[in-house]
Amino acid sequence: MNAPLRRVGLVVMVLFGLLFANLNWIQAYKADDYRNSDYNGRVQVAEYERKRGNIEAGGTAFAVSKETDGELEYLRTYPGGEKYAHAIGYKPVNLADTGIEEAENAFLAGTSDQLIGDRLRDLVTGDETAGANVLLTISEQAQDVAYEQLRDNRAGVSKGAAIALDPRTGAVQALVSMPSFDPNPLASHDSDEATTAYNKLQQNPDGPLKNRALGEVLPPGSTFKIVTAAAALENGVTQDTKIPAGPSWTPPTSGKPIENAAPSICPEEEVTLMNAVTESCNTGFAQLGVRLGADTLKEKARQFGFEQDDLTVGRLGEDGEPVAASRTGGMENPDGSVDQAALAQSSIGQRDVRMTPLQGALIAATVANDGSQMRPYLVSQILGADRTTNYYTAEPDELRQPVSDQVAADLREMMESVVQNGTGRNARISGYTVGGKTGTAESGPDTPDHGWFIGFALDEDGNPVSAVCVLLEESGDGGSAEAARIAGQIMRAAIASPGSR
Amino acid sequence: MTVAATSTSPPTTTGGQSGVRLARSRRNAELSLLLLAMVLVAAYGAMVEASVLDTVTPSFWVPAAALSAVFLGLHVVIRFLAPFADPALLPSVALLNGLGVGFLHRLDLARATPAERAELATFAGTGGRQLAWTLISVALAAGLLAVVRDHRSISRYAYTLGLAGIVLVMIPAVLPRSISEINGAKLWIRVGGLSIQPGEFAKLALLAFFAYYLVRKREVLSLASRRFLGVDLPRGRDLGPVVVVWLISLLVLVFEKDLGTSLLYFGMFVATLYIATERVSWLLIGLVLFFGGAYLAYVLGDVVGGPFANFYLRANIWLDPFADPYNDGYQLVQGLLALGSGGMFGAGPGAGQPLKLPEVQNDFIFAGLGEEIGLFGLSALLVVYLLIVERGLRAALAVHDSFGKLLAGGLAFTLGLQVFVIVGGISGLIPLTGQTTPFLSAGGSSLMANWLLIAILLRVSDAARRPVTGGGAPSTRPTGGPPEQLHGAPTEVIRP
């Protein structure tokens, strides 16, 4: 009986070997996956033993960790409240992190490999050196104005977004999504309070947790005419070329006529491209788009950044908050040929064309910056806890060159005309040259139209200083004029803020 | 307590020509190992307090001291009643048992509010109850050593034990759900505030019966056989009673909805059969039967449902625990997350969050420990378990009689298999089945049954290591030939 006993001993060894191998797999190889799993409700107590770094904008901290008497040593607080909720995100105890709090967690929490010096020093001194501080590109003044103007908008709209960029660098000057929320209860150490607050926000039909500036895609309406105009300028049309217009135009294959927003807009047979942009002439742009063709139009939109689904806004070259892809949508018949009616409607930003507010701001910024589109970013600098060690400084980076500087200059003149003489008069700022384009997008048979404005401001030397996009959802008539007014206010604040020049 | 250690010097054999090495009782080695284990348990308790309370209370050593007193008592009993028993068994088990009590006390601390923590008495809560169960279990083990002076005497009651085993297994199946069911498994007898798991004891009784019966029938089982499909099968009448016992326990287990126990009985049965007959074919038949049966149960669970639905669900959870992480897969997912969160070194005793785990004081205690002591700590625990199993098998190898070999071998293997089933279950290696983790899980039945198991291993190892002439035990017993009940069974295998 001894031989089988020995073999049974061997079997037990093998079984325990399997257990050991499996534990290695779970606790060594897969440990990080499990530790950081979304299903893992463990409070990372260790994370709360070290003071988390600040998130600051313009020298003021808008995410600060404060010492507590409780089990978790630091409480994350957001002095900016609703105003900075979408720009910063939040860091709850049990729920998922969002925004910059999530993207820069390694630096904020002090666990980044680059902070190894601090950690080694901690080993010797026994202290817990705080995490690094993240400095945002946000201008306090522009953010104040964007938040307040959007909240108190005269169109009485409850949903919308505003985003402002520095066209020369891509730095985000303001980022507001409406309605917003107070991140403080979400970061509460009382998990019931945090969960209750979260569920309430989650169930709100207006979706306050959603970052509309980066994540909302809606029909851009006439703001998309800038893309159509850019395609036309590259295909033999100039500012002064007369294009067919008229009070109404029916695309070749569709019985539904395209009309202008008002009878006073381009009723004549032909208008110049300059006038078509200034007045926002639908019939002119619909025919122009059909003449250019679907491929040309889609390609131009793609060059401006449509269809990109992997853009993030945070630190350059690193992860940040994801940006929803803007789309031109389908313009084909089921048999593959171009659906002329769809193309005509797409040319004026209707049909299946969808755009994020960020994409709108990028179009305006590109036009202002001689056709060069800079990669948008939110993090300007990362400073160590000692505030002297610099771990990162943003180095602006060109994302793409959608149009030549000549085409950009033409577009700029036309957009300036919109604000000087056309639909965007509300955006004017004394002492600065402002250009822009309004948009009123039909959203459906029963819902009011969305109001858009994209625009830019140049200083007296002609340098672009701000580009902005304002969206007022379901604002109806006059929404785009109000959007233009808010855009002007935001740009004025961005210009006035220190460090903008 | 140390008085006992110095006052009774180990009996040594002088002049016996049987190997001097064999004659050493190694009781002092057992004592020092035991004290080392208790130092570890005390250190664990101190680390838990430092982490949870931010301070080490002046009474941190009390649970470890109480446990030491209990185990030293057993050590003294072993000195008198089983002086040649394996010295590694008691300290190993004491370490596991002590850490179990420590971890359960740590759970009590986690459940208490900060204000209550300081007040929490050493002997309160699940930790305190486990301490009391330890005292009772160790007393039972000592009692068994006192009553059973020769393990072969157990064979006298083999049929009684077999019957008792079946009855014990069947009781919860027959009882109404309100009394027998906890968490979907009908394994319990709940009387008043007390829950008894009779299956834990049935394991021991059935194994004693298997061992006796297989020793008697070993010769016929391995020689008188019919060849079928190239495999030697024993005659039905030889195997009948064993198969019946096994079938009944399996059937009952299907109705008790506990896969783990059924797997345990099956493994126990196949292992003893293999040890008795030395036929690899039995292992093959067993494995084919088991995996075939498991697959069939899976398919039946999918198609028919009914009593097999439970197994189907468990197998699916095992295949993809994250498919439904908040309902079906919740337990396993939380177990994996706890283990993963612990990583290689663990959060440190008292620094994890074991209350995130369901059933952390029972099925998932190993995962709860794993979060705090990490891969290195769990590996050490596995090694301790392995040590106990291998020492048990060693006793089986060294003991001279076939009944002792089967009994010790079967018990040691069963213990190892149980650890495999539960640890493999909570770590996703095999489908999760409800099993207690020997010596760690909260609960008196499991602790008592496993301490009785250890007492039997101690008894067998004492017989195995006892020099042929002389001996420390006052009792005179036959060292040669088997007792009368075993007259039919040869002590050695005839087959080449």
Number of domains within chain A: 1
- For residue B371, give every residue at least 6 positions away whose Cβ sits within 8 Å of its Cβ, in sequence order, or none: B338, B339, B341, B342, B346, B347, B352, B353, B354, B357
A 34-53 near B (Cβ less than 8 A): 34-35, 37, 39-43, 45-46
Q: Are B331 and B364 in contact (CB under 8 A)?
A: yes
What residues make up the domain containing A335? Answer: 215-376+399-496
Q: Which residues of A202-228 are buried (b: 16+ CB within 10 A; e: fewer)?
A: eeeeebbbbbbbbbbbbbbbbbbbbbb
Q: What is the distance between the alpha carbons of residues B260 and B421, in angstroms, rounded to a whole number?
A: 7
Contact: B428, A26; criterion CB under 8 Å = yes
Q: Quick: pLDDT tens for B373-432.
A: 999 999 999 999 999 999 999 999 999 899 999 999 999 999 999 999 999 999 999 888
pLDDT-based confidence at B483, cuts 50/70/90? Answer: very low
What letter represents residue B402's amino acid?
Answer: S
Q: Quick: pLDDT tens for B250-281.
A: 676 667 667 777 778 888 888 888 888 887 77
Locate the DSSP E strands across B61-217: 181-182, 185-186, 189-191, 194-196
Q: Quick: pLDDT tens for A94-141.
A: 778 899 999 998 899 888 888 888 888 887 887 788 889 999 999 999
Which two structure tokens, joined as six digits, stand for B219?
């010769």
The answer as to whether A328 is a domain residue is yes
Contact: A41, B356; criterion CB under 8 Å = yes
pLDDT at B485: 43
- The whole-chain average pLDDT of chain B stands at 81
Q: Quick: pLDDT tens for B211-237.
A: 998 888 777 776 656 666 666 666 666
DSSP assignment of A246-311, as one string? -SEE--TT-S--EE-SSTTSS-SSEEEHHHHHHHT-HHHHHHHHHHH-HHHHHHHHHHHTTT----
Which of B276, B333, B413 shows the shortest C-beta gap to A39?
B333
Q: How far is A49 from chain B (nearest CA, A)?
A: 12
Contact: A28, B351; criterion CB under 8 Å = no
Q: What is the distance between the alpha carbons of residues B496 and B494, in angstroms, rounded to a whole number?
A: 6
| Chain A residues closer than 8 Å to B406 by CB | 1
Residue with tokens 């006439």: A222
The answer as to whether A105 is a domain residue is no
The answer as to whether A350 is a domain residue is yes
The answer as to whether A234 is a domain residue is yes
pLDDT at B233: 66
Residue A499 has pLDDT above 80, yes or no: no
A23 shares contact with chain B (CB less than 8 Å) = yes
Catalytic-role residue among A222, A346, A347, A466: A222
Classify A203 as helix, strand or coil. Answer: helix
pLDDT at A297: 93
Q: What is the distance between the alpha carbons of residues B209 and B163, in angstroms, rounded to a whole number?
A: 9
pLDDT-based confidence at A389, cuts 50/70/90? Answer: confident
**Mean pLDDT confidence for B289-300:** 79
**Mean pLDDT confidence for A81-101:** 90
pLDDT-based confidence at A43, cuts 50/70/90? Answer: low
| Chain B residues closer than 8 Å to A3 by CB | 278
* Window from A258-262, B105-109, B181-185 with minimum mean pLDDT: B181-185
Q: What is the distance between the alpha carbons of residues A199 and A204, in angstroms, rounded to a whole number?
A: 9
Residue B490 has pLDDT above 60, yes or no: no
A262 shares contact with chain B (CB less than 8 Å) = no
- For residue A71, give every residue at least 6 positions away whose Cβ sits within 8 Å of its Cβ, in sequence order, or none: A45, A189, B114
pLDDT at B227: 66
* Segment of A49-53, A57-61, A352-356 carrying the highest mean pLDDT: A352-356
Residue B242 has pLDDT above 70, yes or no: no
**Mean pLDDT confidence for A480-491:** 93
Q: Which residue from B261, B273, B268 is spatially nearest to B414, judged by alpha carbons?
A: B268
The CATH number of residue A448's host domain is: 3.40.710.10
Which two structure tokens, joined as six digits, stand for A28?
């060594």
The answer as to whether A260 is a domain residue is yes
A417 is an active site residue: no
Instruction: Identify the helix (H) or strand (E) that includes residue A491.
Output: helix A479-496
pLDDT-based confidence at A414, cuts 50/70/90? Answer: very high
Q: Which residue from B287, B260, B216, B278 is spatially nearest to B484, judged by alpha carbons?
A: B216
Phi, psi at A428, each rounded to 5°: -60, 145
* Reported ipTM exceeds the 0.85 cut: yes
Residue of A nearest to B429 (CA): A22
3-state helix, strand, coil in chain A (%, to 5): 40, 20, 40
Which of B347, B382, B393 shows the shortest C-beta gap to A9?
B393
Q: What is the distance between the alpha carbons of residues A99 and B377, in angstroms, rounded to a whole number?
A: 37
Chain B interface, mutation test: which of A12, A36, A44, most B Cβ atoms within 10 Å? A12
| Chain A residues closer than 8 Å to B424 by CB | 15, 18-19, 22
pLDDT at B225: 63
